[in-house]
Structure 1
Amino acid sequence: MDIGLAVPQFGRFAALSSVSRVARESDSMGFAGLWAGDRLMTPLRPKDRYPEGDMPEAHRVFLDPFAVLSVAASATSSVRLGTSALNACWYPPVVLARSLTTIDHLSGGRLVAGLGLGWSSDEYAAAGVPWQGRAARYDATLDALEVIWGTDPVSFEHELWTIAPSHIEPKPARRPPLYLAGFAEPALRRIGRRGDGWLTAALPIPMLTAMWRTVCRSAEEAGRDPAALRMVLRANPVITDQGAPPRSGTVAQISAYLATAAEAGVHEIILDLQHTATSDEHLLDLAGDFQARLSSGARGLLERGLL
């Protein structure tokens, strides 16, 4: 199981010093990936409920994902750079492709493109994108990205966008792995049909495995090998002695849940420690503690033939 970190991006960690330090030190510590999210605003009276309850107050300050990953690219040499997840419909495909390809180009081919639909109709309205029809727009965006990342000259015709026959360069070092987010059955089936992996959250294990079976069945029905897909779980724990894992609890309790998730098939963990850490140093200390516990747990699973 690979272990990644959410790159500093919001609240007290929305600073160049935090992005640079955590990126540099996580790279030297051997973390597998650094991942950035995508938020535009915190509505005072949101039309839609935040998936985990109340939107965190720290999300009032949220840095651009492309910018923080560009900084991370300049501070690192080996860690993968991923998005978990970009709200793909907010961006015209040529703009999205350019931003992602720039990060891939500047990092020497370390990009992992993670895309989702988002959940906030308020943010869609602010971005000037219709909330209705977003699933069809999402599929068209995926189609356009595949074309843009293909061989030049490229062209694309759709009712939403027209790309005249053009050279669009640079190209990514290789077609970036495309991880898709979502929990509803249509989203899970889309992942199986056309994704390279599933971006999920810290769900109860039976729910997680049931959804993963849907992804794998969809892959098989599309003539794809489900064993080639990756399940990537993002955990946003609050570290406390009086918690309820997986959302809160001690490092040991959260690590136990994550080890169980690995046993159930999760290939990579993304730890977002910005909700609980009080400083860059605290975040890195917590990351090191999780890394030690989860690496030890992974060795145990290997010895038991489960990884």
Structure 2
Amino acid sequence: MRLGLALPTFGSAARPEGILRVCRTAEDMGYDSLWTGDRVLAPPVPGAPYPSGDGEMPRAYENHMDPLVALTFAASHTTRVQLGTSTLKGLWLPPIMLARALTTLDLLSQGRLIVGLGLGWMPDEYTAVSVPWKGRGARLDETLDVLEEYWASDVFSHEGPLFTIPETVVGLKPRQRPGPPVMLAAFTPGGLRRIGRRFGGWLPAAMPLPHLMDMWDVIQKEAVEADRDPATLRMALRVNPRLTDTKTDPAQMPRAGTLAQYIDYARAAAEAGVHELFVDFGQTPAGLAERVDLAGRFLDGVRQG
């Protein structure tokens, strides 16, 4: 199983020196990938509860960087690690601009981009970017149409229910052909169906592993029904540790536990068949130096298992 680490693009460590330290240290340690998230708003009282824990949005989100700009910065200071978004709210950009941005980043990173898309949970953010909250699924489908057509075509145009793009020559191509892998974070039956039928993989959040693998089975079956090879789909599991000083009841995991418990969870995920797991220590109270230390101890613990 591949292991990844979240870049400090949220909170007090979201500074150039923070990204430099984490991306260089992670690559030196032997991590396989680096990941960023996406926020445009941090309301004092969000219009919808945060879909995790007690429903409170992490206050680290009040300080947020642009994910693609941050990954471009990380790309310029690394040579090996893959660079992923978990998740990029791709519907906030016109799809032609999204295609240009992703193509540029994949080219500048020499083919290390993983595109992880998500629809988000906060209607307020859609209001802020003048994109309707309703109809997100249809907008996502057409956005994916545009990305696939743009990457595959030398001369491209698009006429759809939501977007019209006049004919253009497409000279710039991503390093990865036909394009970088596009994964989706989704948990509803419709979302799982969409992953199996259209996407390159799944971006779940940490949950009890039997439930995780049951959902993965649904995705695999949908791929088969769509005449796709399910073996080509990948899963990259996000873990947001809530670290405790003492061991928690196993029923609390993976919501909260010691670092050793999270190491055991990662080992069990590898045995269950998870392809990649990435950890975000940015939602702990730890400062940057402690986060780097935790990242090293976590990697050593999982790899030695």
Please confirm whether the aligned pair reaches a TM-score higher than 0.5, indicating the same fold.
yes
Q: How far does residue 252 in structure 1 lie from its aligned partner after superposition?
A: 0.5
* CA distance in 1: counterparts of 2:296 and 2:238, whole angstroms: 17
1:141 matches 2:143: yes
The letter for the 1-side match of 2:216 is: W
Where do 1:1-307 residues align within 5 Å?
Answer: 1-52=1-52, 53-174=55-176, 175-242=179-246, 243=248, 244-276=252-284, 278-297=286-305
Identity %: 49
**Are the aligned partners of 2:208 and 2:253 in contact in 1 as well (CA < 8 Å)?**
no
Instruction: Give the 3-state SS of the residue equivalent to 1:238 in structure 2.
Output: coil
* CA distance in 1: counterparts of 2:156 and 2:31, whole angstroms: 36
Q: How far does residue 241 in structure 1 lie from its aligned partner after superposition?
A: 1.5
**Stretches of 4+ moved more than 4 A in 1?**
none
Deviates more, 1:73-82 or 1:272-281: 272-281
The letter for the 1-side match of 2:269 is: A
Instruction: Give the 3-state SS of the residue equivalent to 2:161 in structure 1.
Output: coil
Instruction: Give the 3-state SS of the residue equivalent to 1:274 in structure 2.
Output: helix
**Are the aligned partners of 1:4 and 1:35 in contact in 2 as well (CA < 8 Å)?**
yes
**Are the aligned partners of 2:237 and 2:277 in contact in 1 as well (CA < 8 Å)?**
yes
The letter for the 2-side match of 1:48 is: A
Q: How far does residue 247 in structure 1 lie from its aligned partner after superposition?
A: 2.4
Instruction: Give the 3-state SS of the residue equivalent to 1:202 in structure 2.
Output: coil
**Are the aligned partners of 2:243 and 2:257 in contact in 1 as well (CA < 8 Å)?**
yes
* CA distance in 1: counterparts of 2:300 and 2:4, whole angstroms: 13
Question: Which residue does the alignment assign to 1:305?
Answer: none
Q: How far does residue 117 in structure 1 lie from its aligned partner after superposition?
A: 1.2
**Are the aligned partners of 1:4 and 1:32 in contact in 2 as well (CA < 8 Å)?**
yes
**Are the aligned partners of 1:5 and 1:33 in contact in 2 as well (CA < 8 Å)?**
yes
RMSD over equivalenced CA pairs, Å: 1.2
* CA distance in 2: counterparts of 1:290 and 1:119, whole angstroms: 29
Q: How far does residue 86 in structure 1 lie from its aligned partner after superposition?
A: 0.8
Deviates more, 1:288-297 or 1:182-191: 288-297
Q: How far does residue 165 in structure 1 lie from its aligned partner after superposition?
A: 1.4
1:150-198 per-position Cα deviation (integer Å, ceiling 9, x unaligned): 1211111113221111123421112101111100011001100111110
Q: How far does residue 226 in structure 1 lie from its aligned partner after superposition?
A: 1.0
TM-score, scaled to structure 2: 0.94
Q: How far does residue 277 in structure 1 lie from its aligned partner after superposition?
A: 5.5
Q: How far does residue 122 in structure 1 lie from its aligned partner after superposition?
A: 0.9
1:260-297 per-position Cα deviation (integer Å, ceiling 9, x unaligned): 12222211011101112533221111111111111122
Instruction: Give the 3-state SS of the residue equivalent to 1:227 in structure 2.
Output: helix
Aligned residues between the structures: 297
TM-score, scaled to structure 1: 0.94
Question: Which residue does the alignment assign to 1:303?
Answer: none
* CA distance in 1: counterparts of 2:33 and 2:287, whole angstroms: 20
The 3 A distance-change label for structure 1 pair 202 and 230 is same
